[in-house]
Amino acid sequence: MRATLKHCALLILGYVLAGCSPCENVVSQSISSPSGEYKAVVFSRNCGATVEFNTQISVLRSSDILRDDAGKILVLGGSIPLKIKWLDNSKVSIEGLSNAKIFKKSDFEMGISVSYEK
């Protein structure tokens, strides 16, 4: 029992020290702003068999890569087909939330205003 606990603790410590995450983000679409300075990235986050399907969105600078973090703007339960549209360089619209289970919903991120349509 002690050996198993010690092994688990070492494994977790290894993840923390290596900066690894047991989760993985899978990008389904990336939509650039009109100026090309930003991009809205739609992805699902896979953290193993016990985590349900999900749909998430983050806004990043175009030169940045999506890290293995949760969505900064929107986190929905289930695989939800969303329509993303940049209204201008500082405003993005997200459509298709309908009756989705919402875990996180931000109206502003990185100087970008976010609006939502059902």
- Delimit the domains of the chain by residue range: 22-117
This prediction has a pTM of: 0.77
Note the pLDDT tens digit of each residue in 59-115. 999 999 998 888 999 999 999 999 999 999 999 999 999 888 999 999 999 999 999
Q: What percent of the chain has pLDDT over 70?
A: 80
DSSP string, the chain: -HHHHHHHHHHHHHHHHHT--S-EEEEEEEEE-TTSSEEEEEEEEE--TTSPPEEEEEEEETTPPPPSS--SSEEEES----EEEEEETTEEEEE--TTPEEEEE-SEETTEEEEEE-
